[in-house]
Chains A and B, each alone.
Chain A
Amino acid sequence: MMMNMVQALNGALAMEMERDASVVIMGEDVGLDGGVFRVTDGLMKRFGPERVIDTPLAEAAIAGAAVGMALNGLRPVVEMQFMGFSYIAMNQMINHAARMRNRTRGRLTVPMVLRMPYGAGVKALEHHSESTEALYAQIPGLKVVVPSTPLEAKGLLTASIRDPDPVVFLEPTRSYRMLKEEVPEGEHILPLGKARVSQEGDDVTVVGWGAMIPLIQKAVAGMKASVEVVDLRTISPMDTETLVGSVNRTGRAVVVHEAPRSFGPGAEIAARIYEGAILKLEAPVERVTAPDITIPLPKGEDHYYVNERMIKEGVERALRF
């Protein structure tokens, strides 16, 4: 069935709730309203208010209660309305969810998913355009997953719900309704921690994730060079093998992310490429990113957001070097 990302995510949630009675959804306005982006639309009606829980406005308690639920046999899938509001929940994610398995040597685990829309490019309100995946990716014990298309969204969310570890699941706001593609109505599951080569090529590797993937594909579509596009899918734990394997073949790499440049995931990706492919590299790893500034309000957003031209120029620089 042709679906956009919102429908695909909704389908994954419904299927997992149907399959496993321990899966519960919790968050602000996720029930009656179906979530601010309607990702959980209709689920309260179908599964009842005890499993699709409209909560008080309290991000720390949402994440913290999810930790408790997971400790006591549930698989909570909780929603933060926007990434910019998730920071209050970080105490729970970093100090508890991420480390429970290790600090109890596996006696207690926290199989939970913290879902949230992230990213700019939709002219949203202040604090609604954050792309701070690096903050979560820095934390050992957390998995950070980002889908790039509806099909990917269904497969990766299903895998995240079934995963035994806490997953921060970032949904690209810009891609929620941008494109439709064929998504199976039945079960569809993709592996976590595995990157995907979304386009094969020989001359240069372009690495990205989430909303950057369709943008990269558009940017490189008319280029003469043969471009390989790697959709990282999981920021952490990162699939170094696919990444480095690709660059070892192409000899050139461009990392694209909409997060600010400094200390962004691009730096880690570049480091892994240097560590694993230095002898094959024909050019320095190019970084195409947002500048290190506060995300402007909508009128100034274009100064911030990565665009096709920037990607094209980055790829050309890598090829020209």
Chain B
Amino acid sequence: MLTDEFDPLKGEMLRIMDEEGNVDSSLKPRISKEVLLKAYRTMLLTRLADDKAVKLQRQGRLGAYAPNKGQEASQLGPAMALKKEDWMVWAFREMGALLWREVPLSTYYLYWMGNELGNVYPKDLKVTPAAVPVGSQIPHAVGIAYASNLRKEKSVTLVYFGDGATSEGEFHEGLNFAGVFQTPNVFVCQNNQFAISTRRKRQSASPTLAQKAVAYGFPGILVDGNDVLAMYAASKEAVTRARKGKGPTLIESYTYRLSDHTTSDDWRKYRSKEEVEEWEGKDPLKRFRSYLLSQGILGDEEALQKELVDIVEKAAAEAEAVPAPSRQDVFVHTYSEIPAYLRRQMGGDGT
């Protein structure tokens, strides 16, 4: 068990692939070449699509946006460990995980462009919409998992949140619930070192966030969040534990947000260029690429890049082509049936 080998109380961190892309073969998870390639492709797509979103925002074509740069491995590893029947509950900085679960990129863009249709995922996709109030989605994951358990389904529910969320009451209440009811949950804390401008140290005096699991009575593990293999391995083990009915796990992904919190702030105000440059050296994409190159898995990179840029452009154009909601659209879903007074406020037939 990785959770036995890497004790957060001792500050031990799981890392499988180092910054140069060298892999510790004793820890390497079994992943087929096809899946490795698909993972790289998703991470690169995330990077490119993220970059495009920031540009669209600067041009006034997309609203305030929370960039993902630097957290591609941290997002993707956990999602890769899930099956189709598993629920994924995200916060608002998990684009890579959504793309892996096949939420269309155009839908993702549409949300950030300010259209509720961006929350309308393909039918039967077990992914909840973004949860903006920090940490508030954690209890949802516990309830979803409880419901699966009650019906004796083997479904697992994985939830993402940030380091800031661990200071929220709902983090405590949610994880405490999960421990008491031994729900099939995986809690993934993307510790990207900042809650907007507030450093991780200001959130908690706890040396690691992973060790908080100890108090809730289930395992926690600290993982190098820029190592996609480690994130996958830790998540896979946690998902398996949950599926076997052995309860929840807390994973702290130790990563770094290379960009702003959202397009409405400027990271230069609260951290140094040197610090960011140091983390750029630990870029999750670079190290995964080095590893894949060393294994001879990566093919024509130029063609891949071109293909992904095309996908991004097409998705952006598709999202931009969606008309703004009608007056009817913003009224009729308030309740299952529109009350008479609300229909009068809507006026006419709402078109």
Contacts and interface: CB of A to CB of B under 8 A. Distances in A.
A181 to B, nearest CB: 29
Contacts of B140: 64-65, 67-68, 71, 96
B180 interface: yes
A207 B330 CA distance: 31
Contacts of B177: 55-56, 58, 61, 65
Interface string B172-208: 0110110010000000000000000000000000000
B105 interface: no
B120 interface: yes
B169 A108 contact: no
B333 A73 contact: no
A51 B150 CA distance: 8
A68 B336 contact: no
A69 B133 contact: no
Contacts of A66: 143
Interface stretch (A124-132, A196-204, A234-242, A307-315): A234-242
Given A56-B176, A61-B173, A74-B147, A141 B119 contact: no
A2 interface: no
A103 interface: yes
Given A65-B142, A68-B142, A107-B120, A241 B340 contact: yes
Contacts of A272: 341
B144 interface: yes
B267 interface: no
Nearest to B121: A107
A95 B176 contact: no
B133 A64 contact: no
A101 B335 contact: yes
A65 B173 CA distance: 10
Chain A interface category by residue count:
35 or more
A241 to B, nearest CB: 6
B334 A140 contact: yes
A302 interface: no
Contacts of B123: 107
Interface in B155-174: 157, 169-170, 173-174
Interface in B295-351: 329-330, 333-336, 339-342
A3 to B, nearest CB: 30
Interface residues of B, number: 45
Contacts, number: 136
Interface in B107-132: 116-117, 119-121, 123, 128-129, 131-132
B173 A68 contact: no
A92 B205 CA distance: 27
B144 A69 contact: yes
B10 interface: no
B14 to A, nearest CB: 28
Contacts of B173: 56, 58, 60-61, 64
A7 B144 CA distance: 31
B336 A74 contact: no
Interface centre among A24, A56, A88, A104 (most CB of B within 10 A): A104
Nearest to A111: B336
B210 interface: no
A104 B340 contact: no
B187 to A, nearest CB: 13
A266 to B, nearest CB: 17
B136 A95 contact: yes
Contacts of B342: 237
The 4 A-B pairs of least Cβ separation, nearest first, read A68-B143, A64-B139, A65-B143, A61-B173
Interface of A: 24, 50-51, 55-56, 58, 60-61, 63-74, 76, 88, 91-92, 95-96, 100-109, 140-141, 143, 163-165, 193, 237-238, 240-241, 272
Interface of B: 87, 89, 116-117, 119-121, 123, 128-129, 131-133, 136, 138-148, 150-151, 157, 169-170, 173-174, 176-177, 180, 329-330, 333-336, 339-342
23 contacts: A24-B150, A50-B150, A56-B176, A58-B177, A63-B139, A64-B139, A64-B142, A65-B139, A65-B146, A65-B177, A68-B145, A68-B157, A71-B140, A72-B147, A74-B143, A88-B169, A91-B133, A91-B136, A92-B136, A96-B136, A103-B116, A104-B116, A105-B120
